[in-house]
Amino acid sequence: MCAAIETPGKCEIRAVIRFLQVEIHRRMSAVYGPNFMSDKCVREWCRKFRDGRTDVHDEGGQGRPSLVTDKLVQHVDKVVHEQCRFTISELSLEFPQVCQTVLYEIVTKKRGYHKFCARWVPEMLTDVHKTQRMASALTFLQRYHN
């Protein structure tokens, strides 16, 4: 067994700590893949454990609270139904407290609309829409088939 170093220098100890953190990241990358966690996050968790943290689970309530509420989504949906020809910039004039990125997310992801011929339309067709489309296609085929 190696002999203990009686009076190690502070920089020597810090170098060992830094090496061990890099070694932790290297070994975990080998097991979980290169994109499992950044080296910075590994250092942060090492610091948290060194400061006495024992819980390995995330604490609730971290991060910024979401601006997207059910009331806001309903209000945006109401405005979209009233006027389906709009741009996100025009919509942001109706909602000056909400950024354009959040409005775009509400319109596309939360409400399922997409741009079609300068109009915002529901992404999913209802059975009525599908029937109307098929009837139009059959009329078109009958007109030009004869």
Query: How confident is the model at residue 146, as a pLDDT?
Result: 61
Number of Cβ atoms within 10 Å of the Cβ of 17: 13
Numbered ranges of CATH 1.10.10 in the chain: 66-146
DSSP β-bridge partners for residue 129: none
- pLDDT values of the chain reduced to their tens digit, one per residue, 146 residues: 577 777 778 777 777 777 777 788 888 888 888 777 788 888 888 888 888 888 777 766 556 667 778 888 888 888 887 876 778 888 888 888 888 888 888 888 877 777 756 566 666 767 887 788 888 888 888 877 66
Residues 63, 71: Cα–Cα separation, whole Å:
21
Instruction: For 66-146, give the CATH class.
Output: mainly alpha
How far from each other are the two terminal CA atoms of the chain, in whole angstroms?
A: 96
Query: How confident is the model at residue 127, as a pLDDT?
Result: 82
**Quick one: angle between helices 39-50 and 10-32, nearest 10?**
120
Best CA proximity match to 76, nearest among 116, 39, 105: 105
